[in-house]
Amino acid sequence: MIPTRKRTRLVLRLGLALLVILAAAALTGTGPVSARVPTNVFAPESTHAWVIYKYTLLVLAITGAIFVVVAGLLAYAIVRFRQRKGDDTTEPPQVYGSEQVEIAWTVIPVIIVIVLVLTTARTIHEIQDAPRPPGSLEVTAIGRQWWWEFRYPSLGIVTANELHIPVSDRANPTPTFLRLLSADVAHSFWVPRLAGKTDLIPNRVNQMWMDPSQPGLYLGQCAEYCGTQHAKMLLRVYVHKREDFDRWVAEQKAPAAVAADVAIASEVASGKRIFETTACLNCHAVAGTVANGRFGPDLTHLMSRDTLASGAVKNTAENLKLWIQEPDALKPGSLMPPMHLEDRELNALVSYLVTLK
Ligand code: CUA
């Protein structure tokens, strides 16, 4: 049997070791933490995020050292000079002024502040004054309650919630530059592994950029409280190899699909009629039809998206039905009105929508 004091010490040591391992894993971005957390700020995959990561480590190291010194001295003083039995309880002699100590505690913080100011300035310069190579892609991102609109002005593409961009390598850099706008209130664009936060503010144009080095799906989130569904204003950034990106562009530029299967063609046609004769077309656009609403997401290639309602649920026919009939069931307070269609109409409408690939 281990004595209680020894056991307590053992538990404390194990706890400390675990903390150190976790911190190291998070900091290097290669450990179990980064693999499980898709929004890990310690696992940057783009120059913008990398510059911020380096800066974060420096600030953490400096403030961590200050914490260890101050907390260590405090703990030492508390233990070493605690009250003991038989201590003299009269007031100790009072000491006033020490030039050396005062100089030290003025000069050291000033040096620390200067180092932090200079590195902050360099970090801001590296991010804000980044060059725009000729191959860079321009995307306009518009924050809306509670979804994202993405426009590619040079490609003539409009989509929602899921941003597709090419990977960028050193030999042939193709970074993506974003113009950030807001249609209503302040939002904030944040995909932690690709770039720092930048706000989208009404009547103002903000800029940001990212140059992801690895293909994959990167997750993010609106990072500025913007109303009831702020938490379900998720961001998905799909980073593609160049050829995959070009294929995605070609698919998005193609007109909306037409049902080829004769058996379902009449159902789809009646669904299209419902779409074009109800409130749908006031808010949504489908290229090549009379629907050109701009208040809600463009639906021309609706089924090319993995999620619905800005990442709230998977994009399936079942979820589409629920979303159209009762949006509050998926996203309470959303600005999409419930359509209250009859079952027959709803089925036809969804049959049409799922052809929009
Ligand atoms: Cu948009 Cu929070």
pLDDT for the residue 171? 85
Same domain, 178 and 280: no
Has residue 246 been placed in a domain? no
Q: Does position 36 have pLDDT exceeding 90, yes or no?
A: no
Backbone angles phi, psi at 180, to 5 degrees: -105, 120
Q: What is the pLDDT of residue 10?
A: 66
Whole-structure pTM over 0.85, yes or no?
no
Q: How far is the CA of 222 from the centre of ligand 1 (A)?
A: 4
Residue-level pLDDT at 25: 57
pLDDT in tens, 264-283: 778 888 888 898 888 888 89
| Residue at 303 is within a domain | yes
Does position 28 have pLDDT exceeding 60, yes or no?
no
Q: Which atom of ligand 1 is nearest to the CA of 231?
A: 2
Ligand 1, residue 225: give the atom nearest the CA: 2
What's the chain's length in residues? 357
Q: What is the CATH number of the domain that holds 26?
A: 1.10.287.90
Kindly report, residue by residue over 130-154, the tens digit of the pLDDT.
989 888 999 999 999 999 999 999 9
Report the nearest atom of ligand 1 relative to the CA of 187: 1
180 and 268 belong to one structural domain: no
Report the nearest atom of ligand 1 relative to the CA of 146: 1
Q: How far is ligand 1, taken at its centre, from the CA of residue 234, in Å?
A: 9
User: Which atom of ligand 1 lies closest to the CA of 224?
Assistant: 2
pLDDT at 77: 95
Output the average pLDDT for the chain.
88
Residues 21, 109 within the same domain: yes
Across residues 2-8, what is the average pLDDT? 61
**What is the total count of domains within the chain?**
3
User: How buried is residue 77: exposed, middle or buried, by Cβ count under 10 Å (0-12/13-18/19+)?
Assistant: exposed
- Does residue 299 belong to any structural domain of this protein? yes
Whether residue 334 sits in one domain with residue 217: no
Residues having CB closer than 6 A to ligand 1 are 143, 146, 187, 222, 224-226, 230, 233
pLDDT recorded at residue 260? 61
Asked if residue 15 is part of any domain, the answer here is yes
How many H helices and E strands in the chain? Answer: 10, 12
Average pLDDT over every residue of 201-224? 95
Q: Compute the average pLDDT of residues 336-351.
A: 90
Is residue 169 located within the same domain as residue 229? yes
165 assigned to some structural domain: yes
Q: How far is ligand 1, taken at its centre, from the CA of residue 143, in Å?
A: 7
> Would you state the pLDDT for residue 150?
96
- Regarding whether 161 and 71 lie in a shared domain, the answer is no
Q: Ligand 1 centre from 188 Cα, in Å?
A: 6
| Domain end marker among 240, 275, 290 | 240
- Where among 188, 205, 240 does a domain terminate? 240
What tokens does 128 get?
């804000």
Task: Give the CATH number of the domain where residue 346 resides.
Answer: 2.60.40.420
Does the residue 256 lie in any domain? no
Q: Which atom of ligand 1 is nearest to 222's Cα?
A: 2
Q: Which residue has the tokens 């100590």?
A: 101
Please say if the pLDDT value at position 263 is more than 70. no
Q: Which domain holds residue 216?
A: 137-240
Q: Do 124 and 161 have their domain in common?
A: no
Least confident of 30-44, 157-171, 289-303, 315-329: 30-44
- Cα-to-chain-centroid distance, residue 48: 14
42, 124: one domain: yes
Beta bridge partners of 234: 221
Residue 74, pLDDT above cutoff 90: yes
The pLDDT of residue 14 is 67
pLDDT at 112: 95
User: What integer is the mean pLDDT of 47-68?
Assistant: 95
Q: Is the dihedral of CA 12, 18, 19, 21 positive or negative?
A: positive
Look at residue 247 and tell me if it is in a domain: no
Question: How many angstroms is it from 311 CA to the middle of ligand 1?
Answer: 13
CA distances from 80 to 27, 83, 314 (A): 34, 9, 60
323 CA → ligand 1 middle, Å: 20
Do 331 and 226 belong together in one domain? no
Together in a domain, 178 and 145:
yes
The pLDDT of residue 88 is 85
Ligand 1 center to 205 CA (angstroms): 17
pLDDT > 90 fraction of the chain, expressed in percent and rounded: 62
For the record, the structure tokens of 21 come out as 């391992």
Between 24 and 190, name the one with better pLDDT. 190
Whether 31 is in a domain gets the answer: yes
Q: What is the pLDDT of residue 29?
A: 53
Ligand 1, atom 1: nearest CA belongs to which residue?
187
